[in-house]
């Protein structure tokens, strides 16, 4: 059974899931596979998870695909349970980079894993893409291995690795894989499978959009970025490589990027084109069983989180410095049709455990549904990393009617009693979306609304490429006023980051004072983790903002990171000494009484408790 105690999950057939062993292959009538997926996550047959989604997509195009979820990479026989696939093996570390999955921002080992039955840690290796590729190469001599998913995607070029504090080579080289697919990969994977079925070898395919491959010489037309050897020793070269690569990220006009690694070259082709609405709808209409594989006997935390949620769109045009979404999903918003979403809700409603609550209708940023670039010509030549910073682009269509109408349609379905928006929302967009804002507060907050100012310092917000504190202040006032008008007691959950490049103790003191004086409390703080491939990680590694050339303060010592965090949690009694130390370190003892004395008494404003969930699976 998929989830202990699940009534609906007891009614399964082997063909409800893609095969994971010979017996299930036989139920599908298959004696062998075309493509074998190996994943670092448990197998949950749900469109929120990349490997099942891609595997179902390939099956719908006639390929025979099996999934090995969390196999024991130390035992070749564990990789051979479904035999040697005809075309290639496809490897993903899972929904998260395996190092992020395993270690905290303080580089301490985590004791849990939301993507594993029972939530237990240890079911996947460190650097899972490398370990699984080696295991497959050992189990099937000469079988081509294609790597993908967030871990491979964001490590496709030489990158800074926080866990070793070093610049590492492209994961394509370290894994000795044949081809790398980056981004959401449906188009690239389908074309790859079709070309392999026609006799091509993945390692020889050098012109596939959305892929990277190793070659012995660079193609004639491409952009060369500083070599691995240069970026590992010279911070300037590292930042230059980042800017050059980002400049080519437009799928319509970007060129291929090459980076020398010794005597070889890593060639990264331009990104795949975004999916059309009907292509996206077709993917979400595939026959997912929407349950964890029937062999699991324990609950999987990530499944519980997304079980009754809806992904309405992909992509994010925010361009926040610390976020890898644009680098993985792209900045172009790809929205499903209302019909497709309503149809998915109707499918959810048939689940015997559905109690009428849709827990989320969103994407990387909930209020970007239906947004688009209104200037087709500009879109095809645009080189901006996002569409919102420093000011929203004049071509960005922020019309909220599509989102308002979608929420209304879902709300009015007979089986639905509540619809919540749990994905984060962009505050600067809400200012221009009065209809969406009103509907959100009236019907979809569920007591708490997540917003992500991330900082309340104007200087740090600028470095993060986020709207500044004024935007948050305006939002808070409107939120409170409209909630009062609606006679609803609801609160905001402000997400904050400690230790982001550019943030000093003084900045954190200002943020803490703002929180206190506005009746806000943050219960859990995200410590900045320099994940591969982001602008903020460049700043963390080099101490310079690659786009402005300006020096940026970086809190690297554990002590400073701890003190920054303590300031955000000024109200926790155990932090008092750290708060006092922080104030002394930056010469702000003058505000000690303001920060630590008495609780804020702001008439009409409830004290808001803000929690940050350990992982925001949609976001990263
Ligand atoms: S032209 Fe403006 S709206 Fe269009 S993609 Fe570029 S930044 Fe975004």
Residue 382 has what pLDDT?
96
Q: Is it the case that residue 524 has pLDDT exceeding 80? A: no
> According to the 3-state scheme, what is the secondary structure of 523-563?
CCCEECCCCCCCHHHHHHHHCECCCCCCECCCCCCHHHHHH
Q: Is it the case that residue 599 has pLDDT exceeding 70? A: no
Ligand 1 site-directed mutation target among 375, 391, 398, 429, most atoms within 8 Å of CB? 375
Q: Are strands 211-215 and 179-181 parallel, antiparallel or unpaired?
A: antiparallel
HSE, side-chain direction, 13 A CA sphere, residue 42: 27
Q: Is it the case that residue 282 has pLDDT exceeding 90? A: yes
Q: Which atom of ligand 1 is closest in space to residue 378's alpha carbon? A: 1
Tell me if 214 sits within 8 A of 266, measured CB to CB. Answer: yes
Residue 606 has what pLDDT?
41
For 64, which DSSP code? -
Q: How many CB atoms lie within 10 A of CB 221?
A: 7
Q: Which atom of ligand 1 is closest in space to residue 395's alpha carbon? A: 3
Query: How would you class 237 by CB atoms within 10 Å of its CB: exposed for 0-12, middle for 13-18, buried for 19 or more?
Result: buried
Share of the chain above pLDDT 90, in %: 86
Q: Is it the case that residue 462 has pLDDT exceeding 60? A: yes
Ligand 1 pocket check for 397: Cβ under 6 Å: no
Tell me if 523 sits within 8 A of 609, measured CB to CB. Answer: yes
Question: What's the fold here for domain 308-446?
Answer: Transcription Regulator spoIIAA (3.30.750)
Mean pLDDT confidence for 585-606: 72
Residue 97 has what pLDDT?
97
Residue 2 has what pLDDT?
37
Q: Is it the case that residue 3 has pLDDT exceeding 80? A: no
Mean pLDDT confidence for 290-319: 96
pLDDT for 375-419, tens place per residue? 999 999 999 999 999 989 999 999 999 999 999 999 999 999 999
pLDDT band at 16 (very low <50, low <70, confident <90, very high): very high
Ligand 1 pocket check for 106: Cβ under 6 Å: no
pLDDT for 49-58, tens place per residue? 999 999 999 9
Ligand 1 pocket check for 373: Cβ under 6 Å: yes
Angstrom distance (rounded) from CA 421 to CA 436? 11
Mean pLDDT confidence for 30-36: 98
Residue 50 has what pLDDT?
96
For 358, which DSSP code? E
Three-state secondary-structure class, residue 612: coil
Asked whether the CA dihedral 141, 146, 151, 156 is positive or negative, the reply is: positive
Single pTM value for the model: 0.92
Ligand 1 pocket check for 382: Cβ under 6 Å: yes
Angstrom distance (rounded) from CA 359 to CA 446? 9
Domain residue spans in the chain?
8-213, 308-446, 449-463+483-620
Ligand 1 site-directed mutation target among 388, 396, 429, 432, most atoms within 8 Å of CB? 396
pLDDT for 73-121, tens place per residue? 999 999 999 999 999 999 999 999 999 999 999 999 999 999 999 999 9
Ligand 1 pocket check for 368: Cβ under 6 Å: no
Mean pLDDT confidence for 470-484: 93
Residue 325 has what pLDDT?
85
Share of the chain above pLDDT 70, in %: 94
Q: Which atom of ligand 1 is closest in space to residue 332's alpha carbon? A: 5
pLDDT for 176-229, tens place per residue? 999 999 999 999 999 999 999 999 999 999 999 999 999 999 999 999 999 999
Tell me if 43 sits within 8 A of 67, measured CB to CB. Answer: yes
Nearest to 144 by CA among 115, 167, 177, 171: 177
Q: At what angle do helices 535-542 and 235-247 cross, to 10 degrees?
A: 170
For 442, which DSSP code? I
* Nearest CA, atom 6, ligand 1: 382
Question: What's the fold here for domain 8-213?
Answer: Rossmann fold (3.40.50)
For 269, which DSSP code? P
Mean pLDDT confidence for 478-503: 92
Residue 525 has what pLDDT?
86
Ligand 1 pocket check for 384: Cβ under 6 Å: yes
Angstrom distance (rounded) from CA 259 to CA 373? 31
Cα–ligand 1 centroid distance for 204 (angstroms): 35
Burial 161-180 (b: 16+ CB within 10 A, else e): bbbeeebbbbbbbebebbbb
What is the CA angle 539-541-544, rounded to 5?
A: 40
pLDDT band at 173 (very low <50, low <70, confident <90, very high): very high
Which parts of 80-178 are beta strand (E)?
Answer: 88-92, 145-148, 159-161, 166-168
* Phi, psi for residue 215 in degrees, rounded to 5: -135, 165
pLDDT band at 8 (very low <50, low <70, confident <90, very high): very low
Helix, strand, coil fractions of the chain, as percent rounded to 5: 40, 15, 45
Cα–ligand 1 centroid distance for 368 (angstroms): 14
Residue 619 has what pLDDT?
37
* Phi, psi for residue 368 in degrees, rounded to 5: -105, 0
Higher pLDDT, 427 or 541: 541
The string of DSSP codes covering 471-516 is HHHHHHHHHHHHHHHTT---EEEEEEEES-TT--HHHHHHHHHHHH
Ligand 1 pocket check for 333: Cβ under 6 Å: no
pLDDT band at 598 (very low <50, low <70, confident <90, very high): low
Q: Which atom of ligand 1 is closest in space to residue 382's alpha carbon? A: 6
**What does pLDDT average to over the chain?**
92
């Amino acid at each position: 059974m998929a989830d202990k105690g699940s009534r609906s999950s007891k009614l399964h057939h082997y063909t409800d899931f893609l095969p994971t062993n010979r017996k299930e292959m036989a139920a599908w009538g298959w004696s062998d596979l075309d493509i074998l997926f190996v994943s670092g996550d448990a197998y949950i047959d749900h469109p929120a998870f990349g490997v099942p989604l891609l595997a179902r997509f390939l099956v719908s195009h006639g390929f025979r695909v099996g999934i090995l979820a969390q196999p024991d990479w130390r035992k070749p026989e564990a990789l051979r349970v479904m035999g040697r696939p005809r075309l290639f093996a496809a490897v993903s570390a899972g929904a998260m980079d395996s190092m992020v999955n395993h270690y905290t921002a303080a580089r301490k080992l985590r004791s849990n894993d939301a993507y594993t039955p029972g939530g237990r840690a240890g079911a996947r290796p460190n650097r899972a893409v490398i370990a699984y590729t080696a295991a497959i190469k050992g189990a099937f001599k000469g079988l081509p291995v294609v790597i993908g998913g967030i871990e491979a995607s964001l490590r496709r070029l030489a990158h800074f690795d926080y866990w070793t504090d070093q610049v590492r080579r492209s994961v394509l080289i370290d894994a000795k894989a044949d081809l790398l697919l980056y981004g959401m990969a449906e188009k690239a994977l389908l074309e790859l499978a079709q070309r392999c079925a026609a006799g091509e070898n993945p390692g020889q395919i050098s012109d596939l959009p959305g892929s990277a491959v190793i070659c012995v010489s660079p193609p004639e037309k491409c952009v060369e970025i500083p070599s691995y050897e240069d970026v590992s020793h010279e911070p300037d070269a590292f930042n230059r490589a980042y800017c050059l690569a980002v400049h080519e990220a437009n799928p319509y006009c970007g060129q291929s990027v090459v980076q020398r690694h010794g005597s070889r070259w890593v060639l990264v082709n331009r990104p795949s084109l975004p999916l059309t609405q009907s292509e996206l709808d077709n993917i979400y209409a595939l026959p997912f069983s929407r349950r964890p594989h029937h062999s699991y006997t324990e609950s999987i935390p990530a499944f519980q989180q997304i079980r009754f949620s809806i992904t309405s769109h992909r992509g994010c045009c925010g361009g926040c410095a610390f976020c890898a979404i644009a680098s993985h999903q792209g900045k172009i918003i790809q929205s499903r049709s209302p019909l497709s979403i309503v149809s998915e809700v109707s499918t959810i409603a048939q689940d015997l455990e559905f109690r009428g609550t849709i827990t989320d209708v969103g994407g990387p940023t909930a209020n970007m549904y239906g947004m688009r670039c209104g200037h087709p010509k500009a879109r095809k030549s645009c080189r901006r990393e996002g569409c919102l910073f420093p000011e929203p682009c004049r071509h960005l269509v922020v019309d909220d009617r599509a989102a308002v109408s979608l929420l209304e349609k879902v709300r009015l379905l007979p089986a639905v009693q509540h619809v919540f928006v749990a994905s984060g929302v962009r505050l600067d967009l809400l200012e221009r979306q009065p209809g969406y804002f009103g509907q959100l507060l009236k019907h979809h907050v569920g007591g708490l609304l997540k917003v992500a100012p991330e900082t309340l310092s104007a200087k740090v917000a600028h470095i993060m490429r986020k709207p500044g504190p004024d935007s948050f202040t305006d939002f808070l006032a409107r939120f409170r006023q409209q909630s009062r008008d609606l006679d609803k007691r609801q609160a905001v959950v402000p997400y904050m980051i400690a230790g982001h490049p550019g943030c000093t103790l003084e900045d954190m003191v200002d943020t803490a004072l703002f929180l206190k004086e506005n009746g806000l409390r943050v219960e859990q703080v995200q410590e900045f983790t320099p994940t591969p491939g982001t602008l903020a990680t460049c700043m963390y590694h080099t101490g310079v903002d690659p786009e402005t050339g300006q020096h940026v303060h970086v809190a690297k010592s554990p002590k400073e990171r701890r003190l920054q965090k303590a300031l955000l949690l000024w109200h926790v009694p155990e932090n008092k000494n750290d708060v006092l130390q922080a104030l002394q370190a930056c010469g702000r003892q003058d505000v000690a009484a303001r920060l630590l004395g008495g609780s804020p008494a702001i008439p009409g404003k409830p004290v808001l408790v803000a929690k940050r969930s350990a992982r925001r699976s949609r976001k990263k």
